Structure 1
């Protein structure tokens, strides 16, 4: 539990859940419910997986997604865009209100359809919402992975930011961004000691890198994944018969976990079930492990190597009146 006498302690919740696939409103209701459940367990921070709202584009590898000018691909993609999140239109207001109501910070993976890029292209975004309900940052995935490039656009460095959360400094990346050493370095340079890796699912993604990042950064690392099974596709999904024809029983089996700053498991990967995993982190463990390795401090050599990060939000035009 969150301690009232020890400021080093932070209780966190990992919401390993399936979306109501490609249904923004129904998935939002589920997210708000799990924020409440986390608050009941006295969590001060709750995390959800990559692209959870409204879901990961599993149809691409199941329906010949690379076929150019396919009417099927256009129709599914159009539905995806329509159900994506437009933050400027208030699509995350219910999540922000729940965060403020319960005093819980939230990190959420969503598919964003931003107005500042025209309102039609979509981005795999990581949104941080503070315990006051205010959106602190929106990070758009820098490089969609493999078939994701058929539906998601490339993001920018604007959201490579960290946030104070109690005694901790929290940052996060989406999926395979966690394998990008310079992106990790950008967060370490800002004092990150609680790293959040968002995943669409699967133990194979989380079982190695979670412990590796914890040992590299000498901080806590949370990996949170979603679930996705055949039964999680709603009956009104466009071209559902085509999607299910090649669909395995399980597309994403979870694998959510937490590694301590020495790389040992605080919570070993959980597989197969929807659940809320809860643990209390102690920042004293970070101080102990930084004794012999501190990426942004005594083990850095900025006189030899330095990283330059462009955090300007990308746009296609600059208007001068």
Structure 2
């Protein structure tokens, strides 16, 4: 942490997964955590469902075809590579965060035992500088074809975390458009908003500025990257998934960082695998909150209030 308590250094790790390979992707994530720590970062973030990767095959292989052997075979591989937190799959990531004194936001495709271990969730995990998991946020509503691979989550992970002078909170991809999900974080004091995406500059064209100005917060958008050559031959039906892609990219990035005044700190990064680093200043948040604070002096809880259920949902409750 900088000697100036208002300053925080953040890293945006726009990287490709080792697609559908959990262990190799987590090793790559650890490499970038170490790189971010070497550059003095207090926080480093990664893209949506990066470990073991986003389900790009769904819109390329007729993913909605019912009772289809191709879909079953790819899904089984995806399930095998899911991240099970209870099993300790993130232990090495947590150990690295603790050893290097750096906080981490990482997107995973989670296979949780508390939902019987055979459904998958798009999950954003926050790990603090002591290597402790602070929140596990399962995406509230998968988008379009994602619903063929991911189950809907719950409000348990709608939480913020203190990091220096900042309060950080995060959402997955398209749920950043959900006004009440954003409001639940604003109400908890969020002034550094983390947003993770599978990649695509079309996703980060307008939303960073909108959220920054609505919340008067820094907005940190971290995207994945996916190239045709990242679909390796060991992937079931790899040729079918690769077919017809002329741009070379299934996801071209778009990671960026905007200040609470709506000005770019890091402009969108397109088509490049890299770690981008910037230092942000909490004083700018306090300046911008002078004329608008959405959960403070510009709220009217006597007129409108938000109810948030943060109970972890389960299909069974045992007593006795």
Which TM-score band applies after superposition, normalised by the shorter structure? over 0.9
CA distance in 1: counterparts of 2:245 and 2:113, whole angstroms: 34
Q: What does residue 198 of structure 2 align with?
A: 200
Q: What does residue 263 of structure 2 align with?
A: 264
CA distance in 1: counterparts of 2:299 and 2:34, whole angstroms: 41
Q: What does residue 144 of structure 1 align with?
A: 142
Secondary structure of 2:252's counterpart equals strand
Q: How does 1:229-244 map to 2 (within 5 A)?
A: 229-244=227-242
Instruction: Compare 228-237 and 282-291 and name the one that shifted more.
Output: 228-237
CA distance in 2: counterparts of 1:128 and 1:182, whole angstroms: 21
Secondary structure of 2:23's counterpart equals helix
Deviations 1:234-291 (A, max 9, x none): 2211111111123342111100000000111011001011000000010000000000
Q: How does 1:242-321 map to 2 (within 5 A)?
A: 242-248=240-246, 249-321=248-320
Q: How does 1:39-54 map to 2 (within 5 A)?
A: 39-54=37-52
Offset at 1:118? Answer: 0.4
The number of equivalent residue pairs is 319
Secondary structure of 2:265's counterpart equals strand
Deviations 1:7-52 (A, max 9, x none): 0000000000000000001101100000000011000100000010
Structure 2: which 5+ runs fail to align? none
Secondary structure of 2:156's counterpart equals coil
Residues 107, 126 of structure 1: 8 Å contact kept:
yes
CA distance in 1: counterparts of 2:208 and 2:55, whole angstroms: 24
Alignment TM-score, normalising by the size of structure 1: 0.98
Cα RMSD, aligned residues only: 0.7
Deviations 1:39-92 (A, max 9, x none): 110001000000100000000000000000000000100100110100000000
Deviations 1:133-159 (A, max 9, x none): 010000000000000000000000000
CA distance in 1: counterparts of 2:26 and 2:232, whole angstroms: 15
CA distance in 2: counterparts of 1:128 and 1:183, whole angstroms: 17
Alignment TM-score, normalising by the size of structure 2: 0.99
Q: What does residue 185 of structure 1 align with?
A: 183
CA distance in 2: counterparts of 1:301 and 1:242, whole angstroms: 54
CA distance in 2: counterparts of 1:312 and 1:223, whole angstroms: 27
Residues 62, 247 of structure 1: 8 Å contact kept:
no
